[in-house]
């Protein structure tokens, strides 16, 4: 059975977050949480929270054993952007974009779900 969890509007750019999500894609949930605990990236903490939330959803809502869960898919999508300007020389400005992202984690207790 596939169970998902979503974290929205995380203040880290999607490109930097994908470095973290690609490191744990396809792993067991316990292994992924152990790896995320020691990653130096800023995106490791939000990703570990979403993975733990997906495991908790599977355990509480569908009575699945959290030790048997795998991360089937973990996706980082682009969210909104905050647009700011920065003063430059000669009276000009430069646009600054603060990017945000959404993280979707899908866990399952059966590896065959990926094919179906």
Segment 84-100, tens digit of pLDDT: 999 999 999 999 999 99
54 with 103: CB under 8 angstroms? no
Quickly count: other Cβ atoms within 10 Å of residue 110's Cβ.
14
> What is the extent of the structural domain holding 66?
2-114
Cα separation, 116 vs 108, whole angstroms: 12
Mean pLDDT of the chain, nearest integer? 94
Cα separation, 60 vs 100, whole angstroms: 30
pLDDT digits (tens, 9 = 90+) for 36-45: 999 999 999 9
Q: In total, how many domains does the chain have? A: 1
**According to the model, what pLDDT value does residue 115 have?**
57
CATH of the domain at 64: 3.90.470.10
């Amino acid at each position: 059975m596939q169970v998902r969890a979503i974290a929205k509007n995380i203040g880290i750019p999607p490109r930097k977050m994908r470095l973290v999500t690609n490191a744990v894609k396809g792993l067991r949930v316990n292994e992924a949480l152990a790896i995320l605990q020691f990653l130096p990236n800023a995106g490791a903490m939000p990703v570990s929270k979403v993975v733990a939330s997906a495991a908790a959803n599977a355990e509480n809502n569908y009575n699945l054993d959290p030790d048997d869960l795998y991360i089937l898919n973990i996706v980082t999508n682009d969210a909104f952007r905050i647009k700011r300007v920065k003063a430059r020389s000669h009276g000009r400005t430069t646009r600054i974009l603060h990017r945000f992202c959404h993280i979707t984690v899908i866990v399952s207790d059966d590896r065959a779900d990926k094919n179906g």
